[in-house]
Amino acid sequence: MTVKTMEDLFVETLKDIYYAEKQILKTLPAMVKKAGDTKLKDALETHRQETEGQIDRLEQVFKLMDVPARGKKCEAIEGIIAEAKEHMQDIEDPEVLDAGIIGSAQAVEHYEITRYGTLIAWAKQLGRDDAIELLEANLEEEKNADMLLSRIAEATVNEKAAA
Ligand SMILES: [Fe+2]
Ligand SMILES: [Fe+2]
């Protein structure tokens, strides 16, 4: 589709994050499996479940915008996921691997945070208050996941990997 209006741009970006969330949902089980630290494993599994809910919320936003829920390939998330997969394949030391997984997971969260931040700003501009609440719920979960990953990294993983 050609982007002509702010509403078109909003929908295009919605498709981007929808695609990204679905790719993340597909990748998280491998990250859960590969993570060694129990807290990290739990955090990733919790976020996998949250991601399912986020996809539902995005489908509600598509409905509000009166367009079918469809993703649009996002090269940015593909790159971040490719890097995560590379770490999972190449790193043998379990503690270094955990640090790598956290780094990739946080890159994902930051990507999501920037997308949701932008979408919320545009929804405000478009007067689409109905979409804002759903997008903010997703943004909150991404921020919390990011903070939790930082805490796990600081508390255990980085310390052990450096030993
Ligand atoms: Fe997400
Ligand atoms: Fe996330």
Side chain identity at residue 12, one-letter code: E
* 1 burial via Cβ count (<10 Å: 0-12, 13-18, 19+): exposed
Mean per-residue pLDDT for 91-111?
Answer: 96
Side chain identity at residue 82, one-letter code: A
For residue 44, the ligand closest to its alpha carbon is: 2
84 with 138: CB under 8 angstroms? no
State how far the Cα of 88 lies from the Cα of 108, in Å rounded to an integer: 15
Q: Which residue, chain included where needed, has tokens 């007067």?
A: 127
Distance 148 CA to ligand 2 centre (A): 11
pLDDT (tens digit, 9 = 90+) per residue, 54-72?
999 999 999 999 999 999 9
Whole-model pTM above 0.85?
A: yes
Distance 104 CA to ligand 2 centre (A): 11
State how far the Cα of 33 lies from the Cα of 27, in Å rounded to an integer: 10
For residue 55, the ligand closest to its alpha carbon is: 1
State how far the Cα of 64 lies from the Cα of 48, in Å rounded to an integer: 25
Distance 45 CA to ligand 2 centre (A): 11
For residue 145, the ligand closest to its alpha carbon is: 2
Q: Which of 6-10, 96-100, 156-160 is predicted with the least confidence, judged by mean pLDDT? A: 156-160
Distance 142 CA to ligand 2 centre (A): 5
What torsion do the CA atoms of 61, 113, 17, 2 make, to the nearest 10 degrees?
90
The pLDDT value given to residue 74: 92
pLDDT band, very low/low/confident/very high, at 158 (cuts 50, 70, 90): low
Distance 49 CA to ligand 1 centre (A): 10
Distance 94 CA to ligand 2 centre (A): 23
pLDDT band, very low/low/confident/very high, at 156 (cuts 50, 70, 90): confident
The pLDDT value given to residue 1: 66
Distance 51 CA to ligand 2 centre (A): 7
Across the chain, the runs of DSSP E, i.e. the strands, are none
